[in-house]
Structure 1
């Protein structure tokens, strides 16, 4: 985590650390994160559990309908999850669901939300006066984060992370056996099943947090909102034309996909089918190690694609770079005209 946060972490870095790197045996963290992002723009600092219960239950319901495998992770019946199922079967009213949520839904998640790698983040996004309190207090850090340039991207990042975790549960196989593929036409991540495939999430939403909301090449701000003027491109670091030479296989692997601003990717003097300067290879390795440091299934996918140890992964990248450059198949000296201070 210290590697991801760096020497001067931003508010968004701490938030993404919680969402991307925490271990996940339940999805309450994601439901709470989405609820905080939804409620904070209303401007209220003190949120009662009754108020928090409505979005918390709603977001949980939406995902249980996609994948109802959560309780199988611990083999413990959760009254809140059972209430969600009872509501979906028409056995209780929505008001009863919200009441049960306020009483049962927050017994663990409020205390555990800020925990990452067996410790707590130095910065908090809400505070509880005491265990069993009936309200939480949203912090200035949460409000400040949402007013920043990356605020609009965060809900999609949380949802993408949630779907990746659910996919591992839904397939009911070891996370070591799950491989996430990329559909270049739809720009979606998916898992191939024996008779079909499961679409998971947008590639942009899944990768943006690991790049801290920055263009991979120039570190300018990017957006993953489909209607945004600065919507990021999904770029192949090793250009896709190398597929003809069997270099950088699998060329469509997650290891080779980065998010880049339109200017860097295909603007005047843009990258197009060129290979970036060698110094960018270390940046790709750093970004990939962020993914490795997260939990299933993206981490295992990258390990299978590039190597089961850090030295092997470095060797994989350098070997492909040397092959592409030595063969003089493409220009290998591209760099952006301008770069902002490094973000990772």
Structure 2
């Protein structure tokens, strides 16, 4: 996948698992969170120890989103145990035992699979025998020490909540329209005139940009108060809306994360139109959304086109319409390698 080839870092491989892996259940997200949480004093993590954070995250999500598996008519023994625990019907120890027996039967083997095959980098290896568990690899320890690691926690939860909402709404794809609320900094949609908050906009976008400013490739953060906190920017500025009647400039297709300098610094973009090179980068980023599926790809397809050629044509047309009467297109100062 281009996602890895353009930036073959451990962070890109990990994000590939979270963003592009098939989702028939949300166990992959729960396992990722368990790996974030687990004690890493030893490379060996026993299933009985991994079971505690793994089941904890599933139980917490079940409270807000009862559908954690596509085939909800047959949730299986593990998910049923999590429901029983939330209802006070079984103890923490009973939940742990059920998780060890039934919770890892598929997810440990499938975690590294993306688009039908396993990624090149492995973050753990399964261990059988008397001490069943996983062996954390050097790749995982390196990932955990990276500057991007804390961003991955929030990105994973944002992706998990998007999948949950897509299953919960069961909205016909052609009707799905995702908008951005700038005041609350969230993505939302509407279902039968009811507004439904999907997830944090910043956390959802960051993984597809690999933790960097869309424009200059400087590292950005997801943590409030951080000097490098990412800012949500409209690629085609809102001030051009009159030139683009009927176009949802608040749609995901037009939202990117930028560093403060690029967004509103002395030489920043502000309300300028980005150059064609950046428009091509926006197309690449949007195609990552399309390949990620559920539910942002449906919203982007509805707004920009059902195939890649149409989507590219849509962006070029909107860019040409928006720049009529404007100054020379804006280009940032390079601050790193282009990573999309």
For Structure 1 versus Structure 2, the TM-score category normalised by the shorter chain is over 0.9
- Which residue of the partner structure matches residue 52 of structure 2? 54
Query: Once structures 1 and 2 are overlaid, which stretch shifts more, 98-107 or 127-136?
Result: 127-136
Provide, for residues 201-225 of structure 1, a one-character-per-residue CA deviation record: whole Å limited to 9, x for no partner: 1111101010011100000100111
- Alpha carbons of 1:147 and 1:191: their partners in 2 closer, same or farther (altered >3 Å)? same
Q: Secondary structure at the match of 1:249?
A: coil
The TM-score normalised by the length of structure 2 is 0.95
Q: Secondary structure at the match of 2:127?
A: coil
- Which residue of the partner structure matches residue 184 of structure 2? 186
Q: Secondary structure at the match of 2:292?
A: coil
Instruction: Quote the Cα distance in structure 1 between the aligned partners of 2:21 and 2:173.
Output: 16
Number of corresponding residues: 340
Query: Once structures 1 and 2 are overlaid, which stretch shifts more, 115-124 or 242-251?
Result: 242-251
Task: Decide whether the 8 Å contact of 1:25 with 1:74 is kept in 2.
Answer: no
Task: Decide whether the 8 Å contact of 1:175 with 1:296 is kept in 2.
Answer: no
2:21 is the counterpart of 1:14: no
Instruction: Quote the Cα distance in structure 2 between the aligned partners of 1:189 and 1:21.
Output: 20
Task: Decide whether the 8 Å contact of 1:291 with 1:299 is kept in 2.
Answer: yes
Task: Decide whether the 8 Å contact of 2:123 with 2:140 is kept in 1.
Answer: yes
Task: Decide whether the 8 Å contact of 2:274 with 2:331 is kept in 1.
Answer: yes
- Which residue of the partner structure matches residue 70 of structure 1? 68
Task: Decide whether the 8 Å contact of 2:7 with 2:339 is kept in 1.
Answer: no
Q: Secondary structure at the match of 1:305?
A: helix
Q: For 1:228-243, list aligned pairs within 5 A.
A: 228-243=226-241
- Which residue of the partner structure matches residue 29 of structure 2? 30
- Which residue of the partner structure matches residue 258 of structure 1? 256
Q: For 1:160-239, list aligned pairs within 5 A.
A: 160-239=158-237
Unaligned runs of 5+ in 1: none
Give 1:100 shift: 1.1
Instruction: Quote the Cα distance in structure 2 between the aligned partners of 1:247 and 1:143.
Output: 50
Taking only aligned residues, the RMSD between alpha carbons, in angstroms, comes to: 1.7
Instruction: Quote the Cα distance in structure 2 between the aligned partners of 1:74 and 1:214.
Output: 37
Q: Secondary structure at the match of 1:229?
A: coil
The TM-score normalised by the length of structure 1 is 0.94
Q: Secondary structure at the match of 1:155?
A: helix
Instruction: Quote the Cα distance in structure 2 between the aligned partners of 1:255 and 1:122.
Output: 30
- Alpha carbons of 1:220 and 1:105: their partners in 2 closer, same or farther (altered >3 Å)? same
Unaligned runs of 5+ in 2: none
Q: Secondary structure at the match of 1:127?
A: strand
Provide, for residues 114-166 of structure 1, a one-character-per-residue CA deviation record: whole Å limited to 9, x for no partner: 01111001111111134896111111111111211111100100000000000
Task: Decide whether the 8 Å contact of 2:244 with 2:322 is kept in 1.
Answer: no
Q: Secondary structure at the match of 2:299?
A: helix
- Which residue of the partner structure matches residue 3 of structure 2? 4
